[in-house]
Structure formats: C-alpha cells, structure tokens
Structure 1
Amino acid sequence: MRRWPNALRALHHRNFRLYFSGHAISTLGTWVQQVALSWLIYRLTDSVALLGLTTFAALLPQLLVGPFAGAWIDRHDKRRLLILVEGALALQALTLAALTASELISPALIVAMAALLGILNAVDTPLRQSLLSQFVNDRADLPNALALNAMLFTLSRFIGPPLAGLLLGFVSEAVCFALNAASYLALMIGLTCVRLAPSPRASGSFRNVFGEGLRYVLGNPPVQRLMLSVLAVNLTASSYVVLLPVFARDIFGGDATTLGWLWGAAGLGSLGSSMLLAGRNTTATLPGLILASIAISALAMLILASSTLPWLSLIAMALLGFGITINNVGTNIILQSNAPEALRGRVVALYTSTRFGFDAIGGLLAGLLAARLGAPWVLAGAGSLLLIYWGWALYQQRQVLASR
C-alpha cells in the first residue's frame, strides 16, 4: 500500500483523492473568474464603489442564507446535493460568459449575477466542508484533510490570479468565465465516483434543527472567541480584495497583470500557512497561532497602505495572505475537530456565514469609503482597528489562562 508523507496523509483515502482532484480544477477556475470579473467591473466603470458593491452582493448571502443552509444540509444526502449545486454554479458562470460575450452585461446585471453566485456559494461552501469528514475513514486525518483542502484553495489562489492576468492579455473576460463553467465538471465527475456509506440525517422541524446548532455555538465560550476573531479579521483584513484593483492601476500604474501578481503574492502567503497547518498533528497550539496571525495581518495592512514600492507591497500581500489563512483555516480545523458529527453541517455553516458574511460587509464599507478617502487611507484605518482588536484579544486570552 502506498504511504503518503505526513503532510499529505489524508490523500491515502480514495474518496478524498477523488474529491481533491476534481476540486483542484474547479477552484482554479473560480479564481480565474474572480480576477476577470473584478477587472471587467473596473474596466467598464472605473468605480471602486461598484467593486465593493459587487463583493458585498456575492458574499452577503453567506451571512443571510448561510446559517440556515447548515440545518438544510444536515437533513439531506450531502453528496447528491453537492453535485446539484456544482451544476448550478456551472450554469451561473456560463450565463455570465454569454452576457459578457454578447456585450449585454451591465453594472446591474453584474451585481445580480454576483448575488446569484453568493446564494449558491452559501450552500456550496458549508456543504463541501461538512462532507470532508466522510471522505476520510480515520477521524485523526480530518485536520489534515481540512488543511489540504485549504492548501488547494490557496495554491489555486497563487496560480489562478497570475494566470487570469495572462489570459486577459490574450482573451476576453467572457472566455475566463466560460473556462470556469467547464471546470465545475471535474468536481461533479469526481463526486459521482465517490463511494460513501449512508450517514445519519438530522430529524425534527427545521426550527429545532437550526436551534440545536445555534445553541452549541452560543453555549461554548472557546467557540465564541474563535468566531469573534473570524469576524474581526474578515471585516477588516479581507477588505483588501476590493481595494487591490485600485492599488494595481492607480498606485502602481499597472494593469491586469499587476493585479494578478498582487493577488498571487497573497496566495503564496496563504499557501505557506496552509502547508504549515497541514504538517501539524495536534490542534493544541492552534489558538496561540491564530492570535499571532491577527497581529501579522494588521501589520501587513499598514505596510501595504503606506508602500509605493511594488516589491514591498508584494511582501505585505504575502504576509496578509498568511495571516488571514492561519486565522480562518485554523479556526475551521478546531471547530470541525471538536464538533459532533451530527452537528457538523450546522457548525460549519455558522462558521462560513461569519467568515464570508463579514467579509461582505467589510468589502462594501471599504469600497464606499475608498471612493471618498482613497484606498490607502481606508486600508490603514482597517489595519489600525485590527491591531486594537488583537491587543484586546491578547488581554482576554491571558485572563482565561490566569483563571485556570
């Protein structure tokens, strides 16, 4: 039997390998579409506010729909449901490609398509995350599977944006959207080949199923602290996504290729943090690492806000990607490692709704404020707020340790 290195041990499981292979292609296509869409918006409108509004429309459903999606997910066959959702995502990307190619696309349609994508992702994200525990036969390998899943996302984030920048130099945004539509087929094929034993489904009314998951989160102080850090980091640090096109074109005088490199630097930092998490065999030291990541993210934002040197900005982006990923993925690993299997879909849904929902709010605020104050000032303000939060969280952690 083939032995995988410790950092890749979850790939020993056949079902996880099938999922991992298909998701690799799908995630790469997703990043190509995201970069192409942000460039299309800024090329057509020159509006940083519209960038923020589009990001808000794509992520807000995570906050509004996401918490309830978990209760729905735990009541259904997750594998079949995921295949259907992936098919719907492919149709969304294909529609976006057709509208762009026919020059029928408009700001209103862009926001509408982003909102549709957000609704689908509000189900897709917790659904995929909650299925990971069924793709590995040994629960001890679940943290590694979660870290590898994040590493796949960040590797695509490192490769996808520069690739999108290169593609946009030769083809239109519509071609990028069409490539993303095709990429979903790989994951759908992989999921049809997965063999899973029937898993228990939640029973009872939707209200009771949802309430059970909410009580687990609200009645668990360590989980509350983790969720609060996810909220703070994504409300502030993740706003860089909206502001990057402004830095690429207006601060550095670049083009789509410059945007791709900035995004790719963040992806490189995220990849490094995912590899660090994948190599760990315990979650005991993760809370301290998560706290350190908040400070790293805040300092990286302040460096990026004040830098006019491309090489320094690339370093700052790498640190920012590292810090955000440690916070988000580390939290996900702790939550899923400790959550009861029957509650997994609901716990993951509440986590993803916090992560992406407050990312949406932060992106909208950043876009609106940048239109008045300028992107560097907004990023500096968000970094300062996050640094203040880190100081408070450090104090709270020491209080908890002292009371033991």
Structure 2
Amino acid sequence: MPSGYSAAMHASWKRNTALFLGSQALSLLGSSLVQYALLWQVTLQTHSGVMMTLYIVAGFLPTFLLSPFAGVWADRYDRRKLIVFADALIALVTLTLAVVFTLRGTELWLFFLAAAVRSVGTAIQQPSVGALLPQLVPEDQLMRVNGIQGTLNSVNMLGAPALAGFLMSVAPLQVLFYVDVVTAALAIVLVAFFVRVEARPRAPVQEGASQLREIRDGFGYIRGHAHLVPFFSYLGVIVVLITPAAFLTPLQTARSFGGEVWRLTAIEMVFSVGMMAGGAALAVWKGFGNRMRTMVASNLIMGACTLALGVVPHFGVYLAFMALFGVALPLYNTPAAVMLQEKVEPAYLGRVFSVMTMLSTALMPLSMLLFGPLAEAVSIDRLLQVTGVLVLLLGLLAPLHRRLMSFGEPRHALPEAQPARAPRGPVEEEGG
C-alpha cells in the first residue's frame, strides 16, 4: 500500500479523499481568480510586454528556486500542515493586498510582490499535495483519483476566467481578493479539521544534516534509480516541445483567423472542455495497465494535434484539434504523477515531486526565451509543424526505450528500487 495508508484508513478513504479534493478545488478557484485579476490588471495598466514578462518571471521564479527546499520539507514534516501553511500564507498576502488597495488604490509594484509571495506558497503546496495523496488513497485507486483531480482543475480552468471577468466588471478589484481569502479559509478548515492522515515513514536523516544535504540526497536518489532519470528526461523534452502550442496559439489565432476576442475565448474554452473530458475518461478507464503506454498514446495525440494546428486552414477544424489536445493532456499528466506515487519510496516522495514541480513551472517560460523571438522571425505555423513532428517522433521512439517503458509496469512487475545510498539513520514515524 502507499505511504502511510493502512487497513484502518480503508473504511474512510472515500470521505477523506472527497474532503481533500474539495478543499483543493476551493483553494484553486480563489487562487485562479486572483491570478487572472493580477495578470489582467498589469496588462490593462501598463500595456507593456516588458512588464508582462517581469510579472510572469515574478510568478514562476520563486517556485522554481524554492521547490527543492519544499520537497525536503514535504519529506521531513507533516504534509497536511504544510498545505495548510501554504494556503494561509497565500491568503494572508491576498488579504493584505486587498486592504492596501481599499485604502490607497492599486499600486503596480504590489502586483509583482504579490505574484512572488504567492509563488512561494505554490512551491510549498505542490510537492506536499502530490506526496499526500498516496496516504489517503488505495494504490489501485490512485489513477482514478488523480483523474478526478485533473477534471476538477479543468473545470476551474473553464470557469475561473469567466467568473473573474464578471467580478471585475461589477465590483472593485479587491473583491476578488476577499473571495480568495474566504475560499482559502474554507480549504484550511477542511484539511486541518476533517481530513484524517495517519503516520508515515520519514526520510532517514543524519543528525544535524542541512537541508542542502537533503536536497543532494533527493537528487542522488533520482540519479541512483535507473527508471527516474530517463523518465524525467522524457517529461522535460515533451514540456519544451509543446511550449509553442501552449503559449503561441492565441497569437497564431489572431494572425491567421482574426483578432476577435471570441476567437481567443473559444480556444481556451474548448481546450478546457477537452481536459475535463480527458480527466473524466481517465477516472473511469484508468488507462492501460502499463502507465507509460497511456503517456505514449497521449504523446502521439499531442504531436498529431500540434502538427495539425500548424496546417489546418479552417477555424472550426482548428478548434476541434485544440479540444483533442485538451483531451490528451490528462492522459499525460495523470499517469506521470501516479507512477511517482506508486514507485518512489515514501520517504523521498516530496523531493521527487519537487523536481516535477521545477520542470512544470520553469521549462515552459524558459523555452519561450527561444520560441518567443523565433515567432517574430519564423511563422508560428512552421514552429508548430516542426515541434509537432518532433513530438510524434518522440512518441514513436519512446517504446523502444525498455527501461523507460518498464517504469510504467505495475508495482509487482518492477523490481523494488534501492536508495542511491545506504540509510544513515533509523526510519522515524511522523504523525499526520
């Protein structure tokens, strides 16, 4: 069974999981409202590409830098309390921002500060959430539960922009911030008082060991496992190659089909609906027995869709491929998280998830440093065609990598991985 999950937890796992997923959905809704509000306000107030870039950097750089430390904390301490702390930190910053705006009006520098501090909360929260789920959910239900979580996230992606736009049109900006504080408070109450988590193994730590030493141990654990290095390499390459499809399609739509707002709204909506459908399908189907086969199937669909987005001349067909891309994304994201939850030793799970957080938060913005300028010199259609072919090629070659594909086999089919080095101390128990 997963880390900390016992027979005593089995009777109440559905209630526990429903409460936890509900709390995270509430927290995400409030955070998304503020995220859109801050982004749009910077856009409307500055009309500056430089300021937009600075805002994006402020929003991802702290997450990238802090994630290795957050992974250590997720392995050292009570993950539930870390999630509560992260929600409380974000809510406190948001409340402060709302009060300042109420008293003094909007000040641009506060948007950047708020984005940076909220990014710190995200860095703490993401590894803890990914590592906590195996303590709540039976191993054979992890794919289904992660699929449900992905569907809830997709519903949020669909509804949050519309709700944020409506609130901004009828109420002062700070009203959205107060909504975030309320949703965060509800999420904190649910996690702190109603979600039950049992003790779990704690990573072996040498007395007096620094957090940097534990970070090195986490990376050493990844390097010492034959499956994790190719797995993270595979994830990284895909993230880089789908960056044009993720960031440049609105610009491509404006250039190729017209700059009407409804067209930009349509591509976001159909993509979100596709993600909802993909997450729901995965929650029922649970994917292939070999998790990597599900990821490779998604890889091939995303490659074909990226290529198609670069060649289709009709906007209706373009939307259809955008929706199909959305369907494929949960078939990639969800098995990736589940494989780590199933295969990584519980005491190292937080640090391993922190590496995934670093990949997901940093590689796309960094890749835009290449693809953004390229989009001014080369047509976006051509960029999508080339990256689509490369994604398809990666999907065709991945099954030839036996070690990578074996990582997706059920636990009983994969020999237990050993730590990169011998433990330096006894395994301790930590209360949940």
Name the counterpart of 2:386. 384
Name the counterpart of 2:152. 152
Name the counterpart of 1:254. 260
Change (3 A) 1:172 1:59: same
Deviations 1:118-150 (A, max 9, x none): 2221111111111112223x3322332222222
Q: Distance in 1 between matches of 2:107 and 2:11?
A: 42
Name the counterpart of 2:28. 27
Residue type at the aligned position of 1:62 = T
| Matching residue within 336, 341, 344 for 1:331 | 336
Name the counterpart of 1:6. none
Q: Quick one: percent identity of the two aligned structures?
A: 24
The structural deviation recorded for 1:87 is 0.5
Whether 1:350 and 2:352 are equivalent positions in the alignment is no
SS in 2 for 1:74: helix
Consecutive unaligned residues in structure 2, runs of 5 or more: 1-9, 407-432
Greater shift, 341-350 or 262-271, is seen at 262-271
Please tell me the root mean square deviation across aligned C-alpha atoms, in Å: 3.4
SS in 2 for 1:184: helix
Q: TM-score, normalised by structure 2?
A: 0.78
Name the counterpart of 2:56. 55
Change (3 A) 1:70 1:12: closer
Change (3 A) 1:170 1:260: farther
Q: Distance in 1 between matches of 2:12 and 2:28?
A: 18
SS in 2 for 1:200: strand
Whether 1:284 and 2:284 are equivalent positions in the alignment is no
2:147–2:334 CA contact under 8 A, matched in 1: yes
Name the counterpart of 2:416. none
Name the counterpart of 1:398. 400
Consecutive unaligned residues in structure 1, runs of 5 or more: 1-8
Name the counterpart of 2:83. 82
Matches within 5 A, 1:72-111: 72-98=73-99, 102-106=104-108, 108-111=109-112
SS in 2 for 1:104: coil
Residue type at the aligned position of 2:82 = L
2:275–2:330 CA contact under 8 A, matched in 1: yes
Q: Distance in 1 between matches of 2:162 and 2:263?
A: 8
Name the counterpart of 2:46. 45
Matches within 5 A, 1:5-404: 13-98=14-99, 102-106=104-108, 108-136=109-137, 138-192=138-192, 193-202=194-203, 203-204=205-206, 205=209, 206-238=211-243, 242-243=247-248, 246=251, 252-255=258-261, 259-281=264-286, 284-304=289-309, 310-363=315-368, 365-367=370-372, 372-373=376-377, 377-378=379-380, 380-381=382-383, 384-385=386-387, 387-398=389-400, 400=402
Q: Distance in 2 between matches of 1:37 and 1:331?
A: 31
Q: Distance in 2 between matches of 1:347 and 1:98?
A: 38
The structural deviation recorded for 1:70 is 0.8
The structural deviation recorded for 1:287 is 1.2
Deviations 1:250-285 (A, max 9, x none): 764334x76554323222121122123222456633
1:161–1:264 CA contact under 8 A, matched in 2: no
The structural deviation recorded for 1:331 is 0.9
1:49–1:368 CA contact under 8 A, matched in 2: no
Q: Distance in 2 between matches of 1:79 and 1:29?
A: 19
Q: Which has the larger radius of gyration?
A: 2
Change (3 A) 1:383 1:36: farther
The structural deviation recorded for 1:37 is 3.1
Number of residues paired by the alignment? 390
Residue type at the aligned position of 1:398 = L
Residue type at the aligned position of 2:154 = T
Q: TM-score, normalised by structure 1?
A: 0.82
1:213–1:347 CA contact under 8 A, matched in 2: yes
Name the counterpart of 1:5. none
1:36–1:176 CA contact under 8 A, matched in 2: yes
The structural deviation recorded for 1:240 is 5.3
